[in-house]
Amino acid sequence: MRSGFFIVFLLGLLTSCSIEDDAGNIMQNLAPTLSVDLPETFVFGQTYSIEITYQRPTNCHTFSGLDVARNGNEIIIGVVTSYATNNPNCAAAGNLQATATINFVAERDDFYIFKFWKGKSAAGIDQFLIVEVPVTQ
């Protein structure tokens, strides 16, 4: 009986306490790619730092990561930004360009097709900056 009371008390204590959760106030979205610094060719087995310049929607948006999907020699990359939804001081003016870098290893011996997300068309279709880079030995 005593251990049953202790378990009920412990469960009540754990469920009544709350930790403030700000995760609901953070949003993420894709930022349009403006330009990419890629070499004209890759050398098989070499590592490259690829610099991506993107447009932040507001000065509150910060780099959150890269969304990368790979299918054979095709690599689709989107820049992910995040921002706090409860920040009333965000402005869509000023220098909103930023850069992100991805390290890439040329593991194929033919070519790569990079597709960098640059936004949606007026019809809502995803648009990409497409760059094909051959690989040499």
- From CA 55, how far away is CA 1, in angstroms rounded? 63
Q: Which residue type sits at 69?
A: A
In this structure, which long-range contacts are made by residues 122-129, counting pairs with CB atoms below 8 Å and at least 24 apart in sequence? Answer: 128/76, 129/33, 129/35, 129/36
- From CA 74, how far away is CA 115, in angstroms rounded? 7
Q: How confident is the model at residue 24 (pLDDT cuts 50, 70, 90)?
A: low
- From CA 30, how far away is CA 82, in angstroms rounded? 9
**Residues near 85 by beta carbon (within 8 Å), at least 6 away in sequence:** 25, 26, 27
C-alpha distance from residue 10 to each of 2, 16, 19 (Å): 12, 10, 17
What pLDDT sits at residue 18?
Answer: 44
CATH code: domain 25-136 is 2.60.40
* Spans of all domains in the chain: 25-136
Whether the per-residue pLDDT at 128 is higher than 90: the answer is: yes
Looking at the chain, the whole-number percentage of residues with pLDDT higher than 90 is: 69
Whether the per-residue pLDDT at 6 is higher than 60: the answer is: no
Whether the per-residue pLDDT at 75 is higher than 80: the answer is: yes
Helix (H, G, I), strand (E, B) or coil at 91: coil
Mean of pLDDT values over 105-126? 95
**Residues near 76 by beta carbon (within 8 Å), at least 6 away in sequence:** 68, 69, 70, 115, 117, 128
Specify the pTM. 0.78
